[in-house]
């Protein structure tokens, strides 16, 4: 038997009636119990993709499989998915309990079964104290849990979450992130989670899909996305990378060389590079050390401090590089111990050649 | 400073005049309805306070030269017509507004052809209906030709009310319902309709009251069995007696009680919405 994925997208494309291409040829395979995050700037197509999986948006072309069953043209109400909306979309004219039981009542279940399932989920999500109240008297976090309970009680095969934490304040968001992750492990249901916040996507997702302008930029595990960006967009959007534009000098073997106005750097090769093409050197801020080095396996650069600000154990340094370019480096305070960080002072930095990568600058060909 | 004071005086007098002309006719009518009968006429001074004309309306006064108001059947007709118009116009208004939630080809044309029903002068529409009925060979009746025109007239009002309601309707609750496996028809019944209900109530009120005192369209197309407004017009075209005033007071009180019911229902749903709003506020603070 072929491996059966919980969710499979084959060349899914969405073109709006006006001709706008929202999602282009999206291929994806999700295994059962996976927590998958979609992340990207607004308008990148992540919500449109989620809505296509939910059946709330028509699929222009391509095919969608849920547990091996073709769902491309199945109506929303007949798909084994449940969606959690950004504004929670709690039914305002029903109590919390009625909200939760609403999806069960249309299924042919005995009232005893309905009662059992709803009280189970009410216990699981700790909603007992508000079960008989309406949306109006719930806090943001409670609304969030009601929306979750309402979706989960119908036992969907896939739970789709559209920026479900967007409306919460930072502290609550943090708490619910953990709760959500725990809940997903407990229930072993596939979660597809849409967010515009990279920290949320990386923190929660087993795997992350980075999208931009309707296209998938990179799919991979969180650490992989963070430390090994495959495209300039991912390098800029995810993580705290320092980028140097330049011209590719050598692209043979595993390591390449790039000439930049701030020096010649060596690094791992990502993708197919060609000599004399415009390229980008991507350096995760975490790997940058400060001070002087003469080691061969290190790249180094020089700059002048414009401003440095400390936020608890993190320091953000704005540097003016040798060529006049302004860059931002975010790093741990330990890394800059003993360094002069007053505005105007010169600072040297270096990083290992095996921790940085060189990729084509697609925009410049 | 002087300018502000004089502006205040001007606005004060303006408001007083507005209130006077708004309620004056009704107050005068109310006072004169207690005129002595049957000799007392529809003018001041009040010869003697009495409830004679109220008794006259209900046929309880001793027989006199003044004929009782021919309102019994006309009233029933008008209420029936208004009720039927209300039901049909509101259902059509809700469904049309629902259709307008998604853009469709030709929506502009449809919009203006619906709205036309309330813009075209009633006399013209009534006359046109007469011509059409004669051409086609249909009898004119309050329950046929007049009913159609009542719907044509009130349907745009119901439609516009519902359009405004749907305009600020949050679609995600419907999508949430679909995603829970509930069919579109059931979603409309169980989710959409309860939420838009206050709007539906307003549309019903509009349709009912507009139909209840509709005159020009009914005059032409109502046939020989007249509705209330036509019947009243028929009586005072000859001679006015204070029994008309007594009836006016009674029917106004009836309208007020309808409004009160509407008000109570609306207050209940608004209170619910306010609770929702204050719940939101707690989130922010």
Last residue of a domain, one of A227, A253, A271: A227
Q: What is the pLDDT of residues A42-82, one digit of tens each?
A: 889 999 999 999 999 999 999 999 999 999 999 999 999 99
**More confident: A38 or B279:** A38
* Phi, psi of A328, rounded to the nearest 5 degrees: -115, 130
CB < 8 Å to A75, chain B: 178
Does A68 lie in the same domain as A105? yes
Does the pLDDT at position A314 exceed 80? yes
Residue at A1 is within a domain: no
Among candidate residues A258, A274, A286, the one with its CA nearest the CA of residue A355 = A286
Does B254 lie in the same domain as B198? no
Residue at B166 is within a domain: yes
Q: What is the CATH number of the domain that holds A256?
A: 2.40.50.100
Does A244 lie in the same domain as A223? no
CB < 8 Å to B283, chain A: 139-140
The C-alpha atoms of residue A11 and residue A23 are separated, in whole angstroms, by 10
Residue at A153 is within a domain: yes
pLDDT number for residue B1: 58
Pairing status of strand A346-352 against strand A255-260 = unpaired
Residue at B127 is within a domain: yes
CB < 8 Å to B187, chain A: 77
Average pLDDT over residues A202-209: 91
Does A288 lie in the same domain as A213? no
Q: Which two tokens stand for residue A130?
A: 């508000």
Does the pLDDT at position A364 exceed 60? no
Average pLDDT across chain A, whole number = 89
Does B101 lie in the same domain as B132? yes
Does B283 lie in the same domain as B175? no
Q: Which site among A89, A90, A117, A162 would you substitute to test the B interface, given the most B Cβ atoms closer than 10 Å to its Cβ?
A: A89
pLDDT number for residue A45: 92
pLDDT number for residue B274: 58
- Give, as one character, the DSSP assignment of residue A81: E
Does the pLDDT at position A3 exceed 80? no
Q: What is the pLDDT of residues A245-286, one digit of tens each?
A: 999 988 877 788 999 988 889 998 888 888 888 999 999 988
pLDDT number for residue A118: 92
Pairing status of strand A263-269 against strand A278-284 = unpaired
Residue at B4 is within a domain: no
pLDDT number for residue B282: 43
Residue at A96 is within a domain: yes
Nearest residue of chain B to residue A92 (CA atoms): B195
pLDDT number for residue B61: 75
What are the start-end ranges of the H helices in A190-291?
Answer: 198-204, 222-227, 232-237
Question: Which residue range forms the structural domain that includes residue B37?
Answer: 31-66+246-285
* Structural domain count, chain A: 2
Residue at B183 is within a domain: yes
Does B62 lie in the same domain as B190? no
Cβ atoms of A38 and A49 closer than 8 Å: yes
Cβ atoms of B197 and B265 closer than 8 Å: no
Low-confidence ranges of chain B (pLDDT < 70): 1, 270, 272-285
* Phi, psi of A43, rounded to the nearest 5 degrees: 85, 10
Residue at A295 is within a domain: yes
Q: Does A313 touch chain B (CB under 8 A)?
A: no
Q: Does B25 touch chain A (CB under 8 A)?
A: no
How many Cα atoms sit within 13 Å of A280 on the Cβ side? 23
Average pLDDT over residues A160-170: 84
Cβ atoms of A202 and A218 closer than 8 Å: no
**More confident: A168 or B31:** B31
Does B234 lie in the same domain as B128? yes
Question: Are B279 and A137 within 8 A, CB to CB?
Answer: yes
Last residue of a domain, one of A180, A198, A227: A227
Q: What is the CATH number of the domain that holds B200?
A: 1.10.3720.10
pLDDT number for residue A2: 56
Among candidate residues B225, B234, B90, B224, the one with its CA nearest the CA of residue B151 = B90
Does B146 lie in the same domain as B44? no
How many Cα atoms sit within 13 Å of A262 on the Cβ side? 25
pLDDT number for residue B149: 94
Least CB–CB distance from B180: residue in A90, A139, A150: A150
Does A95 lie in the same domain as A197? yes
pLDDT number for residue A4: 81
Does A159 lie in the same domain as A59? yes
Residue at B268 is within a domain: yes
Question: Which residue range forms the structural domain that includes residue A40?
Answer: 7-227
CB < 8 Å to B194, chain A: 93
pLDDT number for residue A311: 87
Residue at A72 is within a domain: yes
Spell out a b/e string for A295-313, using b for 16 or more CB atoms within 10 Å of the CB, else e: eeebbbbebebeebeeeee
Residue at A280 is within a domain: yes
Does the pLDDT at position A1 exceed 50? no
Last residue of a domain, one of A194, A227, A260: A227
Does B162 lie in the same domain as B62? no
Could you tell me what percent of chain A has a pLDDT over 90? 46
Q: Does A3 touch chain B (CB under 8 A)?
A: no
Does A77 lie in the same domain as A42? yes
pLDDT number for residue B19: 94
Does A219 lie in the same domain as A89? yes
pTM: 0.80
Does B167 lie in the same domain as B95? yes
Residue at A172 is within a domain: yes
Residues 143-182 of B with CB under 8 A from A: 170, 172-173, 175-182
Does A130 lie in the same domain as A247? no
Residue at A232 is within a domain: no
Q: What is the CATH number of the domain that holds A23?
A: 3.40.50.300
Question: Are B173 and A135 within 8 A, CB to CB?
Answer: no
Does A81 lie in the same domain as A112? yes
The beta-strand segments (E) located in chain A are 7-15, 21-30, 35-39, 61-66, 69-70, 81-84, 158-162, 190-195, 207-212, 215-221, 241-250, 255-260, 263-269, 278-284, 289-290, 298-311, 314-321, 326-332, 346-352, 357-360
The number of beta carbons lying within 10 Å of the beta carbon of residue A230 is: 19
* Structural domain count, chain B: 2
Does the pLDDT at position A309 exceed 70? yes
């Amino acid at each position: 038997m072929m491996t059966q994925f919980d969710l499979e997208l084959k060349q899914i494309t969405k073109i709006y009636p006006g001709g706008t291409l929202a999602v282009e040829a999206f291929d994806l395979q999700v295994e059962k119990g996976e927590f998958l995050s979609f992340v990207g700037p607004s308008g990148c197509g992540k919500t449109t993709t989620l809505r296509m999986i939910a059946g709330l948006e028509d699929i222009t072309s391509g095919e969608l499989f849920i547990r091996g069953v073709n769902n491309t043209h199945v109506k929303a109400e007949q798909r084994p998915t449940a969606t959690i909306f950004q504004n929670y979309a709690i039914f305002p004219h029903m109590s919390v309990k009625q909200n939760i039981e609403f999806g069960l009542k249309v299924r042919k279940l005995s009232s005893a079964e309905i009662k059992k399932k709803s009280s189970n989920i009410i216990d699981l999500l700790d909603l007992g104290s508000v079960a008989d109240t309406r949306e109006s008297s719930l806090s943001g976090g409670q609304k969030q849990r009601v929306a979750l309970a309402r979706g989960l009680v119908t036992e969907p095969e896939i739970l789709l979450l559209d920026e479900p934490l967007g409306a919460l304040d930072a502290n609550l968001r943090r708490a619910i992130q953990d709760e959500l992750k725990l809940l997903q492990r407990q229930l072993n249901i596939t979660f597809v989670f849409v967010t515009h916040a990279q920290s949320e996507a990386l923190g929660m997702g087993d795997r992350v899909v980075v999208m931009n302008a309707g296209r998938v930029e990179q799919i991979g595990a969180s650490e992989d996305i963070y430390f090994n960006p495959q495209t300039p967009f991912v390098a800029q959007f995810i993580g705290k990378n320092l980028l140097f534009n330049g011209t590719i000098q050598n692209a043979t073997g595993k390591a390449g060389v790039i000439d930049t106005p701030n020096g010649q750097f060596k690094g791992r090769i990502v993708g197919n590079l060609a000599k004399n093409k415009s390229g980008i050197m991507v350096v995760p801020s975490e790997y940058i050390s400060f001070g002087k080095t003469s080691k061969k396996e290190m790249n180094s650069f020089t700059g002048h401090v414009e401003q440095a600000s400390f936020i608890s154990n993190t320091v953000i340094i704005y540097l003016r590089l040798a060529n006049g370019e302004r860059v931002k480096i975010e790093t741990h305070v330990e890394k800059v111990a003993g360094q002069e960080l007053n505005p105007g002072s010169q600072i040297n930095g270096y990083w290992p050649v095996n921790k940085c990568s060189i990729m084509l600058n697609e925009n410049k060909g | 400073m002087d300018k502000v004071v004089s502006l205040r005086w001007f606005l004060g007098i303006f408001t007083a005049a507005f209130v006077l002309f708004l309620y004056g006719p009704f107050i005068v009518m109310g006072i004169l309805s207690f005129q002595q009968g049957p000799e007392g006429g529809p003018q001041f001074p009040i010869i003697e306070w009495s409830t004679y004309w109220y008794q006259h309306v209900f046929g309880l006064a001793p027989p006199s030269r003044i004929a009782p108001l021919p309102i019994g059947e006309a009233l029933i007709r008008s209420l029936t017509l208004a009720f039927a118009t209300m039901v049909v116009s509101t259902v059509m208004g809700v469904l049309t507004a629902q259709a307008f939630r998604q853009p469709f080809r030709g929506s502009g044309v449809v919009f203006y052809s619906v709205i036309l029903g309330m813009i075209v002068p009633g006399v013209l529409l009534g006359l046109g209906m007469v011509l059409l009925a004669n051409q086609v060979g249909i009898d004119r009746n309050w329950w046929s030709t007049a009913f159609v025109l009542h719907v044509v007239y009130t349907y745009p009002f119901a439609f516009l009310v519902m359009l405004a309601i749907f305009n600020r309707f949050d679609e995600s609750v419907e999508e949430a319902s679909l995603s829970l496996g509930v069919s579109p028809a059931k979603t409309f019944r169980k989710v959409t309709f309860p939420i838009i209900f206050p709007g539906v109530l307003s549309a019903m009120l509009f349709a009912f009251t507009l139909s209840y005192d509709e005159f020009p369209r009914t005059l032409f197309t109502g046939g020989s069995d007249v509705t209330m407004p036509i019947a009243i017009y028929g009586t005072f075209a000859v001679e006015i007696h204070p029994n008309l005033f007594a009836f006016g007071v009674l029917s106004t009180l009836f309208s007020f009680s309808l409004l009160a019911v509407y008000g109570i229902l609306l207050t209940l749903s608004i209170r619910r919405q306010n609770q929702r709003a204050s719940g939101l506020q707690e989130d922010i603070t």
